């Protein structure tokens, strides 16, 4: 399916927000690998750290947020670079931003300034990275607009965001991200604000772009259906940590982590005639200011044991290509896991 | 756009008519008229008053006619370029106010220029360095500036000028130029004196606008489109100026129209304290003695200025913010 050479490697990344009320550990000990020509889906509910993770890769985590530990190694055009070591406002990271790694932000309306035409906003990155003249830049913007499926680009290029429909705006935002032909595209909830038919169109646009531009995509969503549609591999995030990871089809057909199981069961199934209530994961997302001892899913976990509160389970490979962070599942699958074992050491 | 401007200019006409009616009526609202004031003054000086003479004067000034007739005559004459006669100054109104309007405009526009020149960059700095030592210092200075009344600031500056530098800062001209005809030297002298009233008139508004700029920009800085611009690889300064600053400027642009009348009325007290030959003190005097045509001409001119500056700021805003529709 792909050549499996690494494009981006995240190792043990910690991102925290230092607020007056306390410290929020938004991303904790996250390790991921993204290959060339590859789509990684990241799923999780609101506030689980998905967006912060994407901002961390771009090095644009807004203050008071800070990357506290870890590495983000990017194998771009030049030698592998650890993005964490770069100056967040410096030239070297700005040469990567928008040119080699691009970000599509959540809401298409808010990601565009109402004061400039979409052509003007798409042109920014071109002028920044390629020093194109106005005329050349306009040609490129027109090309990119038709590439993302915006009809009548020569009209749309001079229109303001408020003159476009939601779907067209989202396409413009995508055009803004891919205009410099990045190798990695991070899409943060790119379909959330759209209705279902437009969602399907945008998804097929992403699939097409992946083929035509030969890029890798990190696709972030809370929508399991969307992720299963597009991703090669899925990482499930809960409370800042990755709790399960594996090939998309496997994770959705045989979820291992109790949180993933809960997520999948809470989605209504078409044609399910039973009148049973849809199951929901009981309880609430833990208070972000509270540092929990042990597994943070434990209070809501249907299979949790008393010893789950002792320490945090590490993401462990339990099957080929499949990893899970749960003592109970790990013990079931391999027979040799549990916090006690580590505690003895 | 052109249609919009023409339509707006057309709307100015009824606005000005209504303003002229109200101001003419308000000037005459206090009991009595200019002659009553005059009589009271004469009586205070123990002079004998000839009743026939008063009646004759009343007739001559047209004060015996109903107010709408007086108003009609006044407007008719203005349309023919005649603003009437100032009874108190015994000269035509145009002659009395011409130079004062000019000087008021010079002070007001210089102050407006200074207000925006200072408030915008300092506000940007303050917002982008939120909660730094510099931001706190700017905030403190701004609040003092907001709280300090104009007249007090004027007195303070006069005092400091007199005690520390041993110069008199009263007035807009040195004594040798005060009544001299306009010349290059007189303009130079004006520039030397101008900064005091400009600082006095502009401080409060500068402080206010600085806070507005800071607050607006802080709101905009966390908007997703700023992050999107940053994700494109633009440098901080470039993206700041192109995206959030441009957005945060809008309330300041629409605030332009309120600024001008604010400055002119605020300048009255300053002008009294500093002894400036501007419109403020003269308007005050004309209102107190019910010198109708002088007061009326002032109010009409200042209102016209306000209406025009509102139009200008609206046009500027429409030009800067594409979301504004001309319909």
Percent of chain A at pLDDT > 90 equals 12
Find, in chain A, the residue whose alpha carbon is nearest to that of B226.
A111
Q: Which residue has tokens 């907001």?
A: B146
Q: Is the peptide bond before B293 cis (omega within 30 degrees of 0)?
A: no
How high is the pLDDT of residue B214? 94
Place of tokens 């476009």: A164
Interface test with B, best of A124, A126, A160, A164 (most B CBs within 10 A): A124
CB A125 within 8 A of CB A99: yes
- pLDDT in the model for residue B212: 92
Distances (CA, A) of B35 to B38, B82, B318: 5, 22, 49
**B77 and B119 part of one domain:** no
- Is the pLDDT at A299 greater than 50, yes or no? yes
The verdict on B171 and B269 lying in the same domain is yes
Question: Mean of the per-residue pLDDT values for chain B?
Answer: 84
Give CB contacts under 8 A, 24+ apart, made by A194-201.
A194/A166, A194/A167, A194/A170, A195/A166, A198/A166, A198/A167, A198/A170, A199/A226, A201/A149, A201/A167
Cβ neighbours of B321 in A, within 8 Å: 114-115
Alpha carbon B48 to its chain centroid, in Å, reads 42
pLDDT at A134 over 90: no
- For residues B76 and B124, state if they share a domain: no
Chain A residues touching residue B128 (CB < 8 angstroms): none
CB contact under 8 A, A103 and B228: yes
Q: How far apart are CA A36 and CA A5, in angstroms?
A: 6
- What is the token pair recorded at B144? 């003092």
What is the C-alpha to C-alpha distance for residues A60 and A90, in angstroms, rounded to an integer?
12
Nearest CA in chain A to B222: A62
Instruction: Categorize the per-residue pLDDT at B127 as very low, low, confident or very high, splitting at 50, 70 and 90.
Output: very high
Q: Quick check: A115 and B235 CB within 8 A?
A: no
Taking an 8 Å cut-off on Cβ atoms, the answer to whether B222 and A62 are in contact is yes
Residues B104 and B53 in one domain: no
Q: Which of B26, B55, B82 is the last residue of a domain?
A: B82
User: Is B316 a residue whose pLDDT tops 90?
Assistant: no
| pLDDT number for residue A272 | 66
C-alpha to C-alpha distance for A69 and A49, rounded to whole angstroms:
15
Instruction: Please list every residue in chain B whose beta carbon sits closer than 8 Å to the beta carbon of residue A110.
Output: 223-225
Q: Which residues of B touch A177 (CB under 8 A)?
A: 231
Based on its alpha-carbon atoms, the radius of gyration of chain B, rounded to whole angstroms, reads 24
Measured between alpha carbons, how far is A181 from B147 in angstroms, rounded to an integer? 55
Name the domain boundary from B30, B51, B82: B82
Tally the C-alpha atoms within 13 A of residue B136's C-alpha that lie toward its C-beta.
3
> What are the residues whose beta carbons fall under 8 Å from the beta carbon of A126, sequence distance 6 or more?
A132, A137, A140, A141, A179, A180
Answer whether residue B250 is part of any domain.
yes
Q: What are the pLDDT digits (tens) for B20-34? A: 888 888 877 777 777
Residues A95, A76: Cα–Cα separation, whole Å: 11
Identify which of B228, B234, B323 has the shortest CB distance to residue A111. Answer: B228
Residue A178 contacts residue A162 (beta carbons within 8 Å): no
State both tokens at B192: 């030397």
DSSP B222: T
Among chain A residues, the shortest Cα distance to B236 is held by: A89
Least confident of B39-43, B85-89, B294-298: B39-43
In-domain check, residue B36: yes
- Least Cα distance to B205 among B262, B152, B157 occurs for B262
CB contact under 8 A, B236 and A89: yes
Instruction: Flag whether pLDDT at B50 surpasses 90.
Output: no
- Mean pLDDT over the full length of chain A: 84
Interface contact B113, partner A, CB < 8 A? no
- What would the pLDDT profile of B178-208 be if each residue is shown by its tens digit? 777 777 888 888 887 888 888 888 888 899 9
Tens digits of per-residue pLDDT, A267-288? 777 776 666 777 777 777 777 7
Give the Cα separation of B19 and B17 in Å (integer). 5
Structural domain of B44: 15-82
d(CA B119, CA B213): 7
Closest CA to B257 of B7, B8, B77, B3: B8
Q: Which residue of B has its CA nearest to A56?
A: B231
What's the pLDDT tens digit per position in A15-52?
999 988 888 888 888 888 898 888 999 998 887 888 89
What pLDDT shows up at residue A342? 45
Which chain A residue has the Cα nearest residue B225? A111
The reply to whether B31 and B154 lie within a common domain is: no
pLDDT score at A42: 92
Q: Which of B205, B204, B211 is nearest to B144 (CA)?
A: B204
Q: Which pLDDT band holds residue B326 (cuts at 50, 70, 90)?
A: low
Residue of A nearest to B247 (CA): A115
Residues of B within 8 A of A58 (CB-CB) are 230-231
**Under 8 Å between Cβ of A255 and A326:** no
A-contacting residues in B 21-60 (Cβ below 8 Å): none
Mean local confidence (pLDDT), A153-179: 89
Average pLDDT over residues A71-95: 84
CA dist list (Å): B76 to B71, B82, B83, B154: 8, 9, 10, 41
Measured distance CA(A277)–CA(B195) in Å, rounded: 77
Q: Per the CB < 8 Å rule, is A113 touching B247?
A: yes
**Same domain membership, residue B132 and residue B36:** no
Q: With an 8 Å Cβ cutoff, are B231 and A102 in contact?
A: yes
Q: Spell out which residues of chain B touch residue A89, defining contact as CB-CB under 8 Å.
A: 235-236
CATH numeric code, A6-231 = 3.40.50.300
Q: Which three-class secondary structure state does DSSP give residue B142?
A: helix
B213 pLDDT higher than 90? yes
Give the pLDDT of residue A336. 62
Pairing relationship of beta strands A81-82 and B85-86 according to DSSP bridges: unpaired
Q: Which residues in chain A have Cβ-Cβ distances shorter than 8 Å to B234? A: 94, 98, 124, 128
pLDDT at res. B120: 93
Question: What residues in A contact B230, CB-CB < 8 Å?
Answer: 58, 60, 97
Per-residue burial over A52-85, b if 16 or more Cβ lie within 10 Å, else e, is bbbbbbbbbbeeebebeebebbbbbeeeebebbe
Predicted pLDDT of residue A185: 92
Q: Is B130 on the interface with A (CB under 8 A)?
A: no
* CA geometry: angle B108, B112, B114, nearest 5 deg: 120
Which residue from A291, A299, A314 is spatially nearest to A259, judged by alpha carbons? A299
Q: Which helix (H) or strand (E) holds A14?
A: strand A6-19
C-alpha closest to that of A174 among A226, A210, A227, A138: A210
pLDDT of residue B136: 95
pLDDT the model gives residue B119 = 92
Distance from the B78 Cα atom to the nearest Cα atom in chain A, whole angstroms:
44
- Residue B124 confidence class, pLDDT cut points 50, 70, 90: very high
In this prediction, residues A173-195 reach a mean pLDDT of: 87
Flag whether residue B235 sits within 8 Å of chain A, measured between CB atoms: yes
DSSP code of residue A297:
T
CA–CA distance, A249 with A255 (Å, rounded to integer): 10
B246 and A115 in contact by Cβ < 8 A?
A: yes
In this complex, do B234 and A124 lie within 8 Å of one another by their Cβ atoms?
A: yes
pLDDT of A341 strictly over 70: no
Q: Which residues between 306 and 325 in chain B have a beta carbon less than 8 angstroms from any beta carbon of chain A? A: 320-323
How would residue A1 be classed by pLDDT, with cut points 50, 70 and 90?
A: very low
Instruction: Tell me, yes or no, whether B302 and B225 share the same domain.
Output: yes
Contacts across the A-B interface (CB distance below 8 Å): 78
Residue A44: predicted pLDDT: 85
Q: Tell me: pLDDT of A54 over 60.
A: yes
Q: Which residues pair with A16 in a beta bridge?
A: A25, A66
In this prediction, residues A107-112 reach a mean pLDDT of: 83
- Total domains in the fold of chain B: 2
Mean pLDDT for the stretch of residues B258-279 = 78
Pair (B183, B311) in one structural domain: yes
Query: B314 and B261 in one domain?
Result: yes
Task: Mark whether B121 and B256 lie in a shared domain.
Answer: yes
- Check CB contact under 8 Å for B229 and A124: yes
Cβ(A313)–Cβ(A326) below 8 Å:
yes
Q: Are residues B70 and B104 in the same domain?
A: no
B247: exposed, middle or buried (C-beta count within 10 Å: 0-12, 13-18, 19+)? Answer: buried
Helical spans, DSSP H, in B89-130: 93-128
Whether residues B59 and B179 share a domain: the answer is no
User: Shortest CA distance to A266 belongs to which of A281, A253, A254?
Assistant: A281
Given a contact cutoff of 8 angstroms between Cβ atoms, the answer to whether B322 and A114 are in contact is: yes
CB atoms under 10 Å from CB of B71, counted, come to 18
Whether residue B151 is contained in a domain is answered as yes
User: Contact B224/A124, CB-based, under 8 Å?
Assistant: no
Q: Give A96's contacts in chain B (Cβ within 8 Å).
A: 233
Name the interface residues of A facing B (CB cutoff 8 Å): 55, 58, 60, 62, 89, 94-99, 102-103, 105-107, 110-116, 124-125, 128-129, 160, 162, 173, 176-177
pLDDT-based confidence at residue A2 (cuts at 50, 70, 90)? very low
The string of DSSP codes covering A46-115 is: TTSSHHHHHHHHHT-PPTTEEEEEEEEEE--SSS-EEGGGS-TTSHHHHHHBTTTEEEE-S-TTTTS-TT
Percent of chain B with pLDDT over 70: 98
Whether the pLDDT of residue A77 is over 60: the answer is yes
Q: Give span(s): CATH 3.40.50.300, chain A.
A: 6-231
Contact A23, A253 (CB under 8 A): no
Please report the sign of the dihedral spanned by the C-alpha atoms of residue A129, residue A131, residue A134, residue A135: negative
Output the domain CATH number for residue B308.
Answer: 1.10.3720.10
d(CA B59, CA B70): 12
Angstroms from B111 CA to nearest CA on chain A: 29
Evaluate if residue A343 carries a pLDDT over 70.
no
Q: What is the DSSP letter of A317?
A: E
Q: What is the DSSP string of B55-77?
A: HHHHHHHTTTS-HHHHHHHHHHH
């Amino acid at each position: 399916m792909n050549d499996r050479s690494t494009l981006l490697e995240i190792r043990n990344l910690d991102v925290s927000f230092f607020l007056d009320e306390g410290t929020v550990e938004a991303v904790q000990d996250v390790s991921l690998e993204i290959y060339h020509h590859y789509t990684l889906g990241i799923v999780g509910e609101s506030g689980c750290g998905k967006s912060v993770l994407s901002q961390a890769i771009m090095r644009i985590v807004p203050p008071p947020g800070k990357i506290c530990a870890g590495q983000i190694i990017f194998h771009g055009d030049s030698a592998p670079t650890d993005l964490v070591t770069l100056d967040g406002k410096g030239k070297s990271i700005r040469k990567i931003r928008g040119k080699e790694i691009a970000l599509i932000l959540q809401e298409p309306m808010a990601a565009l300034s109402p004061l400039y035409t979409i052509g003007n906003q798409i042109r920014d990155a071109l002028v920044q990275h390629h020093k194109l003249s106005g005329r050349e830049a306009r040609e490129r913007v027109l090309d990119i607009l038709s590439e993302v499926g915006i009809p009548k680009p020569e009209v749309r290029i001079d229109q303001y965001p408020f003159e476009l429909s939601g779907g067209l705006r989202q396409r413009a935002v995508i055009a803004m991200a891919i205009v410099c032909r990045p190798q990695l595209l991070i899409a943060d909830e790119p379909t959330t604000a759209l209705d279902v038919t437009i969602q399907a169109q945008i998804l097929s646009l992403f699939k097409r772009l992946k083929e035509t531009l030969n890029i890798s995509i990190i696709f972030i969503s809370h929508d399991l259906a969307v992720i299963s549609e597009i991703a090669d591999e899925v990482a499930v995030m809960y409370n800042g940590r990755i709790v399960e990871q594996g090939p998309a089809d496997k994770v959705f057909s045989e979820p291992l982590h109790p949180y993933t199981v809960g997520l999948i069961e809470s989605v209504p199934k078409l044609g399910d005639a039973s009148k049973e209530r849809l199951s929901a994961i009981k309880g609430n997302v833990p208070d972000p200011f509270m540092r929990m001892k042990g597994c943070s899913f434990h209070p809501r976990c249907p299979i949790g044991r008393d010893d789950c509160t002792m320490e945090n389970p590490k993401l462990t490979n339990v099957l080929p290509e499949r990893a899970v962070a749960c003592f109970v599942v790990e013990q079931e699958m391999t027979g040799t896991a549990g916090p006690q074992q580590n505690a003895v050491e | 756009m052109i249609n919009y401007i023409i339509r707006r200019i057309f709307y100015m006409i009824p606005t000005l008519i209504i303003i002229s009616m109200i101001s003419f009526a308000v000037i005459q609202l206090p009991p009595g008229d200019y002659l009553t004031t005059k009589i009271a003054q004469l009586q205070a000086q123990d002079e004998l008053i000839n009743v026939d003479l008063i009646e004759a004067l009343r007739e001559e000034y047209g004060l015996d006619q109903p107010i709408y007739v007086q108003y009609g005559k006044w407007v008719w004459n203005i349309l023919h370029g005649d603003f009437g006669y100032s009874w108190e100054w015994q000269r035509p109104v145009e002659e009395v106010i011409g130079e004062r309007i000019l000087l008021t405009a010079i002070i007001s526009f210089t102050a407006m220029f200074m207000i925006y020149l200072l408030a915008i960059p300092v506000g940007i700095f303050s917002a982008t360095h939120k909660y730094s030592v510099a931001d706190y210092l700017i905030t403190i200075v701004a609040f003092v500036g907001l709280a300090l009344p104009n007249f007090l600031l004027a007195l303070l500056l006069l005092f400091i000028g007199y005690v520390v530098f041993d110069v008199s800062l009263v007035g807009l001209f040195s004594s040798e130029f005060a009544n001299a005809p306009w010349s290059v030297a007189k303009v130079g002298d004006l520039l030397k004196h101008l900064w005091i009233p400009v600082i006095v008139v502009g401080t409060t508004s500068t402080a206010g606008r600085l806070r507005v700029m800071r607050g607006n920009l802080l709101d905009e800085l966390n908007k997703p489109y700023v992050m999107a611009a940053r994700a494109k690889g633009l440098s901080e300064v470039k993206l700041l100026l192109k995206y959030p600053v441009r957005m945060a400027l809008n309330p300041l642009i629409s605030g332009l129209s309120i600024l001008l009348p604010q400055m002119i009325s605020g300048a009255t007290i300053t002008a009294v304290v500093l002894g400036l030959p501007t419109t403020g003190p003269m308007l005050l005097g004309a209102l107190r003695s019910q010198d109708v045509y002088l007061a009326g001409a002032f109010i009409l001119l200042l209102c016209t200025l306000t209406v025009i500056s509102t139009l200008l700021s609206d046009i500027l805003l429409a030009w800067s913010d594409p979301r504004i529709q001309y319909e």
